[in-house]
Structure 1
Amino acid sequence: MAAGMARHGRIEIAYEVEGPDNGIPLLLVMGLGLSLLFWPEGLRRQLIERGFRVACYDNRDVGLSTHLTELGLPSPLVLLGRRWTGYTLADMADDAVAVLDDLGWQSAHVAGVSLGGMIAQTLAIRHPDRVRSLTSISSTPSARIGRPHPGALAALATLPVRDREAAARQMAHVFRIIGSPGYPRDEEWIRDAARRSFDRAHDLNGMRRQLAAIISADDRRPALQELRMPVLVVHGAEDRLVRPSGGRATARAVPGAKLVIFPGMGHDLPALLQPAVAEEIAALARQVSPSG
């Protein structure tokens, strides 16, 4: 595995890349407030076994990437009015372009989960020439579609934690609420990823700034109708954080998109489903060319 740092203006984006040097380029985009460490090793391995060279990165305000602390904490009035101007999903999509540029990838297959799915959608809309195929996982085209269950929303309303063990306990609690009820949950992996992410950087206000960008974004459905690359939408039937209507709306918006809804899946990527998700992404890539 190799690490790098891409630049988008004054923003630095930390990334890691693994897999064969001549592999099919695949960019993974993570969700709200989570570092690249939350991409399951099993899923990455499954993707590499299918011929991909896999890159993942820390979004701005997460991990080793730039934290925009000078923007402060978005006020509740800003969130209610959908008027956050600190940065946008378009800015975050352009961060992804910076990663592609630093890797020397003219284009790549792109898969994003939750907020990462929104960023991936925005990337495909803004830079269709850079996206060979789009996979949107556990996501939505609009913050007003697939709104979270109150219990899931409450789980995210966390207080700052003071140490890595508190971070581990908190993340385990969150995934008990939003995770997949139909599959075993690897709680020790969640705790370990949370500990390592805390060591990497802990910034609750950064997560809230990302949330403000989500809430302030326009409905992407009109622009998604213009996409012409292959598109896959994956969602869990038991997702309580972005309910399945979000995935269905995404798939309906894109001509020819494939929708896969997994029974028993929540707002995570359980180990028993990782081979199926990897195969769906690989099959999508084969629509572009037999070699991806």
Structure 2
Amino acid sequence: MGAHVRSGALEIWTEQVGQGPDVLLIGGLGDTVESWQFQLDGLADRYRLTAFDNRGAGRTAMPAGPVTVAAMADDAAAVLDAHGIASAHVAGFSGGSIIGQELAARHPDRVRSLVLQSTWVVPDPYLRAWGRFIEWLIDAAPDERTFLEHFFLSIYTPRAHNDGTVAAIIDEVVDFPHKQSSDDLHRFLSAFWAHDGTGSLPTITAPTLVLAGGIDPTARPELGRAVADAIPGARFEVWETESHQPFQEVPDRWNARVAAFWDEVEAGSGTPAPRTAADHAADSAHPSPDRPQTRSG
């Protein structure tokens, strides 16, 4: 069961499952707790996982005033406070990875380790152009389904589009009762285009694993590599056949990889487990994923 927790005047929707070392999951653009369903289901036997709706998404309102990544990082810290969590393994994807970076820089004692999926230091011209296209699409699309059909071309692999996975996700998003307004989407996007992690990344002390999809057209591997290069001791991996959200398309593989990383940190080494021959074979095998049953974006 989920519940709202308070951060100042803001009521943040959170859900918590499982038992074990604490994990905080941070979603991306417009994403809610449901985007992490495969992790909430697949890792709860080993970890206590907390997920939340970002401000302006799902069941968390968008407060008045400027929307900044720093404020959203403080929201994440407030979620930890509300649940009595001193520190947690933090995982974020896309915009959530940027929030995770800022959380680790602003509140280093709260971050046990950091997993950054589909991330960047600062948007390059290509990513900014893609962002302008999405901003245009939000207003130009005649309805939500049409927006999602076009937006998800940049998010999921051709495999997921062709096997019906994306169609199922779109149906779930359209049926989701807690809609994000177009205005809130614009404000959320603007916060990320304005954010530059160049100065904060070198200050991150948490063990960090950076993951990139080899065919992600947005948070491309070179952007993820720049993040890993900027964070002392960070490990960087490219999953060659995956796109922006492998934690949904190949959740069993993603869960196993990040759990191995967390286990290394818990054991005290702070070093991600090395990739194995099986990992490389999986990259080249174009695995048939389980179909996600969660909303995303």
Report TM bin, short chain.
0.7 to 0.9
Distance 1:110 1:233 in 2: 12
Aligned to 2:34: 37
Contact preservation (8 Å) 1:168, 1:190: no
Give structure 1 stretches of 5+ with no counterpart.
72-85
More deviation in 172-181 or 123-132? 172-181
Cα distance change of structure 1 residues 121 and 271 upon mapping to structure 2, 3 Å threshold: closer
Q: How far apart, CA to CA, are the structure 1 residues paired with 2:55 and 2:73?
A: 10
Match of 2:59 in 1: 64
Evaluate the alpha carbon distance shift between residue 280 and residue 110 of structure 1 in structure 2; reply closer, same or farther with a 3 A threshold.
same
How many angstroms does 1:47 deviate by?
2.1
When residues 225 and 182 of structure 1 are mapped into structure 2, their CA distance, relative to the original with a 3 A threshold, is farther
Cα distance change on mapping 1:279 and 1:145 into 2, 3 Å: farther
Letter aligned with residue 60 of structure 1: R
- Closer/same/farther in 2, CA of residues 267 and 284 from structure 1, 3 Å limit: same
Distance 1:66 1:231 in 2: 31
Matched to 1:45, the amino acid is: D
Q: CA deviation at 1:122?
A: 0.3
CA gap 1:247/1:185 in 2 versus in 1, 3 angstroms? farther
Q: How does 1:11-26 map to 2 (within 5 A)?
A: 11-19=10-18, 22-26=19-23
Please list every run of 5 or more consecutive structure 2 residues that lacks an aligned counterpart in the other structure: 271-297
Give the structure 1 partner of residue 287 of structure 2. none
**What is the match of residue 249 of structure 1?**
226
In structure 2, the CA distance between the partners of 1:131 and 1:47, relative to structure 1 (3 Å rule), is same
- After superposition, the Cα gap between the structure-2 partners of 1:63 and 1:18, relative to the gap in structure 1 and judged at 3 Å, is same
Checking the alignment, whether the CA contact within 8 Å between 2:58 and 2:180 is kept in structure 1 is yes
Normalising to structure 1: TM-score of the pair?
A: 0.82
Please give the alpha-carbon distance, in whole angstroms, between the structure 2 residues aligned to 1:285 and 1:109. Answer: 7
Residue 38 of structure 1, CA deviation: 2.1
Summarize the alignment of residues 65-80 of structure 1 with structure 2, pairs less than 5 Å apart. Answer: 65-68=60-63, 70-71=64-65
State how far apart, in whole Å, the 2-side matches of 1:214 and 1:96 are: 16
Q: Aligned equivalents of 2:149 and 2:2: distance in 1?
A: 27
After superposition, the Cα gap between the structure-2 partners of 1:158 and 1:64, relative to the gap in structure 1 and judged at 3 Å, is same
Q: Which amino acid counterpart does residue 15 of structure 1 have in structure 2? A: T
Q: From the superposition, tell whether residues 142 and 159 of structure 1 become closer, same or farther in structure 2 (CA, over 3 Å).
A: closer
Q: Is the contact made by 2:87 and 2:109 (CA closer than 8 Å) also made in structure 1?
A: yes
**Superposition CA RMSD, Å:** 2.6
Question: Structure 1 106/185 Cα, relative in aligned 2: closer, same or farther at 3 Å?
Answer: farther
What is the DSSP-based 3-state SS (H/G/I as helix, E as strand, rest coil) of the residue aligned with 1:225? helix
Shift of residue 240, structure 1, vs aligned partner: 1.2
Give the number of equivalent residue pairs: 267
Q: In structure 2, what is the equivalent of residue 137 of structure 1?
A: 117
Taking structure 1 as reference, are residues 60 and 131 closer, same or farther at Cα in structure 2, changes over 3 Å only?
A: same
Write the distance in 2 (CA, Å) between the matches of 1:236 and 1:162: 27
Code of the aligned partner of 2:17 = E
Output one character per residue of 1:190-226: Cα deviation in whole Å (capped at 9) or x when no partner: 12431243x1123111111111111222x32332222
- What is the 5 A alignment of 1:1-292? 2-19=1-18, 22-39=19-36, 41-49=37-45, 51-68=46-63, 70-71=64-65, 86-144=66-124, 147=127, 150=130, 154-155=133-134, 157-159=136-138, 166-181=143-158, 184=163, 186-197=165-176, 199-217=177-195, 219-269=196-246, 271=248, 273-290=250-267
Q: What percentage of residue pairs aligned between the two structures are identical?
A: 31
> Once the two structures are superposed, what CA deviation does each residue of 1:18-56 show, in whole Å capped at 9, x if it has no partner?
12xx322111111012222222x333322224x012111
Task: Give the 3-state SS of the residue equivalent to 1:141 in structure 2.
Answer: coil
Contact 2:119/2:212 (8 A) holds in 1: yes
Classify 1:243/1:149 alpha carbon distance in 2 versus 1 (closer, same or farther; 3 Å).
Answer: farther
Q: Distance in 2 between matches of 1:123 and 1:52?
A: 20
Contact 1:90 1:122 in 2 (8 A): yes
Aligned to 1:135, the other structure's residue is in SS state strand
Q: Which amino acid aligns with 1:14?
A: W
**1:194 partner SS:** helix
The letter for the 2-side match of 1:98 is A
Q: Indicate conservation of the 8 Å contact 1:29/1:120, yes or no.
A: yes
CA contact (8 A) 1:149 1:241 kept: no
Counterpart CA distance in 2 for 1:202 and 1:106 is 31
1:255, distance to aligned residue in structure 2 (A): 1.6
Task: Report the residue type matching 1:142 in the other structure.
Answer: V
